[in-house]
Structure 1
Amino acid sequence: MVPIVLEVICSLVTWLCLYSCFCQWNKQRSCEWSCRLVTLLHGLIVTLLSGYVALLDGPWPLTHAGSANTSLQIHVLSLTLGYFLFDLGWCLYFQTEGALMLFHHTLSICGMIMVLGLGKSATEVNAVVFVSEITNPLLQSRWFLREMGCYHTFLGELVDFFFVLLFLVLRIGGGAWIMFAMLTSPEPNWLLKAGGLAMYLVSLGFMVEICRFVRRKMGKNHLWWTRLRRVDVPGRTNGHLAAH
C-alpha cells in the first residue's frame, strides 16, 4: 500500500507543478485558464490510458467486475486520483463549481481510494473513468473556444455535437452497462456498488443539464434560421412580389 500512496502523492505534486508552470507561462490569463489546461491534458492522457486498459489490456469490465487489480490499472487510477485531489482542492479554494460537481469529485476520490485499498475492482472503476473522461477534452475545448471568441463558429458547433453524442452514448449508455455488470456481480464490495450507483445518478444529473442546454441551443438556432429566412425571402403582397 505504501508504494501506491507514494505514487498518488507524486501524481498530485506533478499536477500541482504543471499548474504552476502554466500560471507562469500564461501570466496574462486567469488562474482558471491554467487549471483548465491541466484538466485538458489529464483528460487526454487518462482517456488514452484507461481506454487501452479497458479495451485492450483487460480484463473485460463487463465480465470480470471485482477482479484483482493489475499493475497498469493501479498506475492509471493513482495518476487520476492525484489529479482529482488537485482539482477538488482548486475548486474549493476558488469556489468555482457547484454542489453537483463537488459531489462528483468527492465520490470519485472515495471510490478510487477504496479500490486501491481493497486491491480489487479497478477493472470496472477504470472503465467508468474511461467513459467519464472521454468527454472532458471536448468540454475544455468548448470553454477555450468561448474565451477566445471562437465558440459561435462551425468548430464550436462540432465540439458541442460530439460532446453531447459521446456523453449520451458512452457516459450514460456505456455507464449503465458497466453499472449493471457491477451490481449483478457478487464480487464487488457493496459499498463500492452504492458509490457506483451514486456516481451514475450524478451523471444523470449532468445529463439533465445537458438536455436543457441542447433545448436552449436548438431554440436559438431555430430563431436564427427563422430570422434568416425572413431576410432572404422577398416580401409578398396578394401573391405578387412586393415593390422594392
Structure 2
Amino acid sequence: MEDYILKWVVFGVLCWTTVFMLVRSTFPKRSFDFCNRIVSVIHASLAVSLATLSVQDWSCLVCPLASKSSPWQMKTLAVSISYLIYDLICCLFDKHISLDNSVHHMVSIVGIGAGLAYEHCGTEMVASLWITEISSPFLHLRELLKELGYRDTDLNLAADISFAVIFTLARMVGGPYLVYVTLMADNPLLIKAMAMGLQLVSAFWFYKIARMVRYKLAKRRTPSKAD
C-alpha cells in the first residue's frame, strides 16, 4: 500500500470523528445514534459520488476487470475504509451493538484493505462500494424520521419502501452479477472470498428487509380497534 493512501486513511478517520463531534454539538438533544446516522448519510452520499466519478469506461461500468487500481479509485476506497473504521469504533460506544452490522463492517474493512494493499481490482471494489452505499441514505432516513416523530406515518412508510426497493435492486440484482464477474476474473483469492462474504451478508439483510416490509404493509391493512 502506498504511504499516501495510509495517510488518507488515518486522516479520514480523524475527519469523520470531527464531523460526528460537530453534528453532536449541533444537535445536543438528539441521541448518539441520530448524530451517527447523519454522518453515515454524509458518507454514503460522498461514497456514491466518488464511486461514480471513478468509472473509467461508461460503456462497461465494471471494466477493466482485475486491473491495477487507478489513483482516484484508491482515494475513493481510502475515504470509505476510514469511515468504516470510524463507524465500527463509534458503534462500540452506542448502547445497542448490532452483530450483523459489525460483521458487515469487518468484512468490508478486510476486503477494501486487501484491495488497497494489492493496489488491484479497483473497478470491482468501487462498483461494490456504489452498490452497497446507494441504499444507505434511505436506510438511515427511516431511523431519523422515527426520532423526529414520524414513526408509523406515510412519510416513514415511503422511506421504508424506497429503501427496500433500492436495496433489492442494488444488492440482489447488481450484487450477484458483480460477485460473478469478480469470481471469474483473475483476482486474488481473498478478494473473491470477501465478495462472497459481502453477498451472503446482503442476502441475510434482504431476508430481514422483506420481513420488515411485509409486517409494515400488513399493519397498514389491519384496521385499528378504534375503527
Same fold, judged at TM 0.5 (above) = yes
Q: Is the 8 A contact 1:61 1:124 kept in 2?
A: no
Shift >4 Å, 4+ stretches: 56-61
Q: How does 1:205-220 map to 2 (within 5 A)?
A: 205-220=204-219
CA displacement at 1:9 relative to structure 2:
0.7
Alignment partners' CA distance in 2, 1:205 and 1:79: 26
- TM-score, with normalisation over the residues of structure 1? 0.87
Aligned: 1:23 with 2:38? no
- Aligned partner of 1:150 in structure 2 is 150
- TM-score, with normalisation over the residues of structure 2? 0.93
Alignment partners' CA distance in 2, 1:216 and 1:71: 45
Aligned length: 226
Q: Is the 8 A contact 1:62 1:177 kept in 2?
A: no
- Aligned partner of 1:108 in structure 2 is 108
Q: Is the 8 A contact 1:61 1:178 kept in 2?
A: no
Cα–Cα, structure 1 residues 70 and 127, in superposed 2: closer, same or farther, change >3 Å?
Answer: same
Structure 2 residue matching 1:93: 3-state secondary structure: coil
Q: Is the 8 A contact 2:69 2:121 kept in 1?
A: yes
Cα–Cα, structure 1 residues 32 and 125, in superposed 2: closer, same or farther, change >3 Å?
Answer: same
CA displacement at 1:149 relative to structure 2:
1.2
- Aligned partner of 1:8 in structure 2 is 9
Alignment partners' CA distance in 2, 1:40 and 1:190: 32
Q: Percent identity?
A: 25
Q: Which amino acid aligns with 1:212?
A: R
**Which moves more between the two structures, 43-52 or 115-124?**
43-52
- Aligned partner of 2:39 in structure 1 is 38
Q: What per-residue deviation string (whole Å, max 9, x for no partner) do you get for residues 146-198 of structure 1?
A: 1111233332222112111111111111001100101111x210111011101
- Aligned partner of 1:174 in structure 2 is 174
Q: How does 1:186-197 map to 2 (within 5 A)?
A: 187-197=186-196
- Aligned partner of 2:128 in structure 1 is 128
Cα–Cα, structure 1 residues 3 and 60, in superposed 2: closer, same or farther, change >3 Å?
Answer: farther
Q: Which amino acid aligns with 2:42?
A: L
- Aligned partner of 1:203 in structure 2 is 202
Q: Is the 8 A contact 2:114 2:190 kept in 1?
A: no
CA displacement at 1:58 relative to structure 2:
6.2
Structure 2 residue matching 1:149: 3-state secondary structure: coil
Aligned: 1:165 with 2:173? no
Alignment partners' CA distance in 2, 1:22 and 1:102: 23
